[in-house]
Amino acid sequence: MTKWVYSFGGGSADGRADMKNLLGGKGANLAEMASLGLPVPPGLTITTEVCTYYYDNGRQYPAELEAQVNDALKAVEASVGAKFGDSDNPLLVSVRSGARVSMPGMMDTVLNLGLNDETVQGLARNSGNERFAWDSYRRFIQMYSDVVLGVDHYHFEELIEIHKEEKGVDLDTDLDADDWRELAGKFKAKTEEELGRPFPLDVKEQLWGAIGAVFGSWRIERAKVYRKLNNIPEAWGTAVNVQAMVFGNMGETSATGVAFTRDPSTGENEYYGEYLINAQGEDVVAGIRTPQNLTKRAREKAGATAPSMEESMPDVYGQLADVFAKLEKHYRDMQDIEFTVQNGKLWMLQTRAGKRTAKAALKIAVEMVAEGLIDEETAVMRVEPGALDQLLHPTLDPDAPRDILTRGLPASPGAASGIVVFDADTAEEKAKAGEAVILCRIETSPEDIHGMHAAKGILTARGGMTSHAAVVARGMGRPCVSGAGQIRIDGKAGVMTCMGREIKAGDIITIDGGSGEVMIGEVKTLQPELAGDFASLMVWADKYRKLKVRTNADTPTDTSAAREFGAEGIGLCRTEHMFFEGERIIAVRQMILAEDLKGRKEALAKLLPMQKGDFEEIFKIMRGLPVTIRLLDPPLHEFLPREDDEFEDVANAIGMDVKKLKQRANELHEFNPMLGHRGCRLGITYPEIYEMQARAIFEAALAVEADTGETVVPEIMIPLVATESELAILRGKVEAVAEEVFAEKGAKVDYMVGTMIELPRAAIAANKIANSADFFSFGTNDLTQTAIGISRDDAGRFLDQYVKMDIFAQDPFVSIDIDGVGELVKLGAERGRSTKADLKLGICGEHGGDPASVEFCHNVGLDYVSCSPFRVPIARLAAAQAALKDR
């Protein structure tokens, strides 16, 4: 018989931490903590297999489930010494979702389940605390109605507000047992009014209703959006945990909190957390009351007056510190935990590897190696390559003038400027239109995720460091300032005010998620520091990776930046960008529009010294390392004059009539330039262009070698080759130029000639093409366009929908389409090497900086990836991780 239900508690458990696939992350770690002997309220976990079964079978449960749940519940009852539904001594439970990986805020939890008009009396008697019992009951009705029955929580909040007003009090804490009893009655009536049927008072009905709601919530929209953004497969499903309640709302010696074993923002090795006295779980995260600091140090740093837990509950704080030490030693990682204190006793409700900023990930990984908790390989695996992006981005220039509007909590580091936007949809819209936006909200909720993702930064008026906005922003690597309490946001009117100043939608502000500052206007930023922890991790990454990492760079500035980021050469230097600079565009236009060979040669003679100069600079910066230069690739029409005055400039330069010139430009028009007269086709029809470029390369290489005494390693790359003969012909031309230049200068350089593989035909005929190639560079941007048959520039209209509908798992221009384009790369690599075993293989599309694509490149045995300068460290780390996974 299938085991659908796993028990935990009382020092033992059926499950273990490594059973996340079956028990979900929460369930597996509750089991692990119970086995470790930590204080965990007993409970049971319904497996993810039940979720899968449920959706595969028209939302039906397996037949044996109910009996297994009942048995496990009996064990919980025995352990707690209370009975579910018993009016004298009722057991209350929470019903909690838990997928394999944590999905913050996605799945709803119901607390205090098992309360009804009878059991609430039992709870009141047993606890000797009537107010607590009725408060718990009304919380339960509110939560259950909201989560399970779909009655929005604001209905209940409104009732509380009205009640407080009638009573003339401000705070929830001013309400007593009678108030909550009265409100519980009103809540039930409200739910009945909304639903047309009474609130369920049968505890079994409550339990199965909640279980069903958890499974149901796996497929609600916001959960789907989160999964999409985080590449979590729909098929995984969620587990359900049913756990005995412990109460943080029993009075002044009770509390609830969340904590990290190290600072998740900076990575400092000090406890970090927040707690609330006399409160229940959700209160901390929801940001309704402002929580207090866990440690004295953090309180002092924040300048807060409300006592820290270390000060107000030293004994429990001690219990907590012991648990932290045990957990870190056991899991060998920073943990994010939830706890509740019931009458001075600590209970653990959750632990998981804590989400952290890139900065913290780095620091924690490097320090844990020094502490002997983990080894270098583990440290390399701990930092998500894509997250390095956060560290490679600018921070505010400390000396730049700033007009500080207000200060909030430094919820997620990094600085960002952008226009103020008050809702998620607009944020997404504006970002799509290319604007940098700062999403400003009173507080965020899971419905805002798409807007948070689109924004450069997030600002909230309410909520603590563990509020939704803070947690999600840190996960996404967005700068975030939360709880900026002086700001009043009126989203409908499109304004926010702060200390008498007004900021309208569309105004520019800057936020610094590292300091919590909010500034009016744009503030100057600084480049990041690449020494310290970052350097240590990179040294380790370089030790393990097999792939080389080069950069795509066309300018000396990019080339220098890339070298600083650790690029081991240039994988793609596009020559056309150089053609647009300053005065030279006129010569380029002259070349294109020339009527004959003679005219073209005249123009090319003007371009030669300029190209040579470009290459010299780049060779100098990259000396000792290979530089792949791609000969002219784009359709000529991209260079054509458009405006009248541009035509005139060219006409003057050539001494040609403007009218005639325009006519010539018309002749060059193409219907589908991407598949037109471009790439090596230009070299075949106008060999003098490639000859000029080859000459510029060789002359520059010789000059730099003579100058610096270091070797220059040019790799000349012919684009858009489809057939062996194209490459053979052009290789011949390049070699002839080489001989010529070498004879003239009386010196030689080593060089290579190779091609881009960016057409399906080239990948398929790679065995033939390899005869004339010393290297292949997979141009996966064009290969994606030509293999799938979509134009990147026109894909915007449908690609989003394709990704939403899962037709493509991801945007194939961002992460390589492994099944299609990837197969072509694999085939091209294999066939190329079948002809030439030592053929050098690389990739130079955008994919070279995408971690998943880098892993793919490692797996198919390429020699290097090439990516934009800022992504070089990401590729280095991704390559190391791919190699470590492959061991």
Binding site for ligand ADP (CB under 6 A): 41, 94, 96, 105, 109, 111, 243-246, 281-282, 338, 340, 349-350
Given the complex with Mg ion, which of 241 and 510 has the nearer CB atom? 241
Which residue of the chain is nearest Mg ion when measured via CB?
782
Q: What is the DSSP letter of 631?
A: P
How far, in Å, are 691, 696, 730 from residue 756 at the CA level?
18, 20, 13
Quote the tokens at residue 70.
Answer: 């009942």
DSSP character string of 33-83: HHHTT-----EEEE-HHHHHHHHHTTS---TTHHHHHHHHHHHHHHHHT-E
Closest separation between CB of residue 215 and ligand ADP, Å?
A: 15
Compute φ and ψ for 525, nearest 5 degrees.
-115, 165
Q: Of 51, 498, 844, 867, which residue is the catalytic one?
A: 844
Restricting to residues 751-780, which ones interact with Mg ion according to CB under 5 A? 758, 779
> Is residue 163 annotated as a catalytic residue, yes or no?
no
CA angle in degrees (0–180, nearest 5) for 375-378-380: 110
Given the complex with ligand ADP, which of 246 and 388 has the nearer CB atom? 246
Closest separation between CB of residue 473 and ligand ADP, Å?
A: 17
Closest separation between CB of residue 9 and ligand ADP, Å?
A: 11
Closest separation between CB of residue 338 and Mg ion, Å?
A: 5
Contact characters 323-352, Mg ion, x per CB under 5 A: ---------------x-----------x--
Q: Which does 349 bind (CB under 5 to 8 A by kind): Mg ion, ligand ADP, none?
A: ligand ADP
The side-by-side arrangement of strands in the sheet containing 12-13 is: 12-13, 5-9, 43-46, 238-244, 93-99, 110-113
d(CA 444, CA 448): 6
Q: Which does 558 bind (CB under 5 to 8 A by kind): ligand ADP, Mg ion, none?
A: none
The residue behind tokens 């730049």 is 400
Closest separation between CB of residue 727 and Mg ion, Å?
A: 15
Closest separation between CB of residue 342 and ligand ADP, Å?
A: 8
> Is residue 480 annotated as a catalytic residue, yes or no?
no
Given the complex with ligand ADP, which of 284 and 717 has the nearer CB atom? 284
Given the complex with Mg ion, which of 107 and 383 has the nearer CB atom? 107
* Amino acid at residue number 816: I
CA 284 to chain centroid: 25
Q: Which does 779 bind (CB under 5 to 8 A by kind): ligand ADP, Mg ion, none?
A: Mg ion
For residue 289, give every residue at least 6 positions away whose Cβ sits within 8 Å of its Cβ, in sequence order, or none: 276, 279, 283
d(CA 140, CA 94): 10
Reduced to 3 states (helix: H, G, I; strand: E, B; else coil), residue 331 is helix
Q: Which does 782 bind (CB under 5 to 8 A by kind): Mg ion, ligand ADP, none?
A: Mg ion
For residue 648, give every residue at least 6 positions away whose Cβ sits within 8 Å of its Cβ, in sequence order, or none: 658
* Amino acid at residue number 309: M
Closest separation between CB of residue 344 and ligand ADP, Å?
A: 15
Given the complex with ligand ADP, which of 260 and 775 has the nearer CB atom? 260
Given the complex with ligand ADP, which of 227 and 871 has the nearer CB atom? 227
Q: Which does 94 bind (CB under 5 to 8 A by kind): Mg ion, ligand ADP, none?
A: ligand ADP
Size of interface with Mg ion, in residues (CB under 5 A): 5
Q: Does the protein bind Mg ion through residue 782 (CB under 5 A)?
A: yes
Q: Do residues 519 and 484 touch, judged by C-beta distance below 8 A?
A: no
Of 603, 598, 592, the C-alpha closest to 661 is: 592
Given the complex with ligand ADP, which of 111 and 632 has the nearer CB atom? 111
Q: Which does 109 bind (CB under 5 to 8 A by kind): Mg ion, ligand ADP, none?
A: ligand ADP
Taken in order 790, 792, 798, 799, the sign of the CA dihedral is: positive
Q: Which does 871 bind (CB under 5 to 8 A by kind): Mg ion, ligand ADP, none?
A: none
Q: Of 393, 450, 468, 858, which residue is the catalytic one?
A: 468
Closest separation between CB of residue 493 and ligand ADP, Å?
A: 33
Helix residue spans in 346-482 (DSSP H): 358-370, 376-382, 388-391, 424-432, 449-454, 468-476
Given the complex with Mg ion, which of 46 and 783 has the nearer CB atom? 783
d(CA 696, CA 610): 9
Q: Which does 340 bind (CB under 5 to 8 A by kind): ligand ADP, Mg ion, none?
A: ligand ADP
Q: How many C-beta neighbours within 10 Å does residue 400 have?
A: 13
Please give the positions annotated as active site.
468, 844
Which residues here bind Mg ion, judged by CB under 5 A? 338, 350, 758, 779, 782
